[in-house]
Amino acid sequence: MGKMLLVLLTGFTVSYGLLANSKSRRFVDSVDRLVDQFTSYSSNNAATGGAYMALNRLYRNNSWRTGYSNLTIGSDTISVSVFDETTDSTLAERRIRVYSTGRNKDVTDITQAILFDGSFDDFAIWAKDTVMNVVAKDGSDNPDSSFLSYKAPFMPLIDYTDLVAEATSQTNVETAAEWTPANGYPNNYFNSGLLGLGDPNVTHVTGDMKVLENYTVYGIFIVEGNVIIQSNGEVRGVLYLPNNGSTVSGSGGSSSSAAQVRGGVLTWGDINGTDKQVSVRYQSSYLSAFTSEYAEKNPPLRVLTWQ
């Protein structure tokens, strides 16, 4: 009996020791995993935080390119580099790359963001779809492709409801399947007011709109369908086409002169000058009035990608 008890006690002691050792190893392993997880989260948060810090600086000053070098916050180290097309040949015009590195111990994480530097009203043409046989011009009527954005990276926030309400209040709502405005309609881009300016004239066209040869029309036109401008016909103002599939095209007329827009074109669709070239000359006063009244919520910088 004594020997049996001794054997049992010895076995219990060994088993307890093995169990205690196993629990100890599991505890150490759990602590190690927790530390590794915290280190990983911390470095990732540091990289993300560095990118946000850079975005904040860029929103206040879009020419800032200094970045941050080995900035220490707690146990993290943050470094941020900022590039544009002059320092990174892989970037398109008006793009900014923010490259943020976060380190914690031996773990490194990277956050990258690509930004668009500018606003749609810096362009004569802002098209979500394609353009064909279209020329953009600067304010002095010189061809300048930097005023053209096709397959635009985003569509701006436009206050469609306010635009339609303004057109309604001005009794400028056209519901014909194809509306043809009279030559000179409606006399000016701006309503009468101080110095003959005031608010822009706004017309809501629920179908298509056709500007006849040698006709000139004025104002902001919200067109739900398509726009056709014949040779030497001209829109002095802003064409806004809010629907996918809409087209601005040059077509018809007796001469080879281009279809003309002086102001700007903002469209979810395409612009087709195959039959008659479409020429759009930038007019800052028209676009500035459109933006300040109906697109004031657009930021000066736009994040295109984040990874």
Three-state DSSP at 166 gives helix
pLDDT at 9: 41
**pLDDT of 78-109, one tens digit each?**
999 999 999 999 999 899 999 999 998 888 99
Residue 30 confidence class, pLDDT cut points 50, 70, 90: very low
The band of 144, judged by pLDDT with boundaries at 50, 70 and 90, is very high
pLDDT at 195: 47
- Residue spans of beta strands (DSSP E) within 162-215: 173-174, 178-179, 202-205, 208-211
- pLDDT tops 90 at residue 42: no
Distant-in-sequence, close-in-space partners of 152: CB < 8 Å, separation ≥ 6: 120, 126, 127, 128
Q: With left for phi above 0 and alpha for psi between -120 and 50, is residue 94 left, alpha or beta?
A: left
- The least confident of 16-20, 52-56, 166-170, 270-274 is 16-20
For 31-37, what is the mean pLDDT? Answer: 49
Smallest Cα–Cα separation from 121: which of 96, 142, 147, 143?
147
Q: What contacts 204, CB < 8 A, 6 or more positions away?
A: 163, 164, 167, 168, 172, 173, 174, 222
The partner residues of 107 in beta bridges, in order of sequence, read: 104
How far apart CA 190 and CA 202 sit, in angstroms, is 9
Note the pLDDT tens digit of each residue in 213-227. 999 999 999 999 999
**Which residue is associated with the tokens 């040059």?**
250
Residue 211 confidence class, pLDDT cut points 50, 70, 90: very high
Closest CA to 222 of 249, 241, 246, 200: 241
Task: Give the residue, 41 or 305, on which the prediction is more confident.
Answer: 305
For 159, phi and psi rounded to 5 degrees? -80, 80
Would you place residue 20 in the very low, low, confident or very high pLDDT band (cuts 50, 70, 90)? Answer: very low
**Residue (of 55, 36, 47, 52) closest to 78 by Cα position:** 47
Listed by start position, the domains of the chain span 32-117, 120-299
Arithmetic mean of pLDDT, 277-305:
94
pLDDT of residue 37: 62
Residue 39's pLDDT band, with cuts at 50, 70 and 90, is: low
What is the pLDDT confidence band of residue 197, given thresholds at 50, 70 and 90? low
Average pLDDT over residues 251-255: 93
Mean pLDDT taken over the chain = 88
CA pair distance 233, 216, nearest whole angstrom: 6
Q: Which segments of 159-233 are extended strands (E)?
A: 173-174, 178-179, 202-205, 208-211, 216-223, 227-229
Q: Is 161 helix (H, G, I), strand (E, B) or coil?
A: helix
Determine the angle formed by the axes of helices 160-169 and 284-294, rounding to 10 degrees: 100
pLDDT band at 74 (very low <50, low <70, confident <90, very high): confident
How far is the C-alpha of 64 from the C-alpha of 263, rounded, in Å?
Answer: 31
Q: Which residue has the tokens 């031996």?
A: 106
| Residue 65: C-alpha distances to residues 34, 102, 118, 175, 236 (Å) | 37, 18, 16, 51, 38
Helix (H, G, I), strand (E, B) or coil at 274: coil
Q: Mean pLDDT over residues 216-242, rounded?
A: 98
Kindly indicate the confidence band of residue 198, based on its pLDDT and cuts at 50, 70 and 90.
confident
In this model, does residue 72 exceed pLDDT 60?
yes
Query: How much is the average pLDDT of 9-23?
Result: 46
Residue with tokens 């369908």: 225
What is the predicted pLDDT for the residue at 44? 87
Q: Of all residues in the chain, what percent carry a pLDDT higher than 70?
A: 85
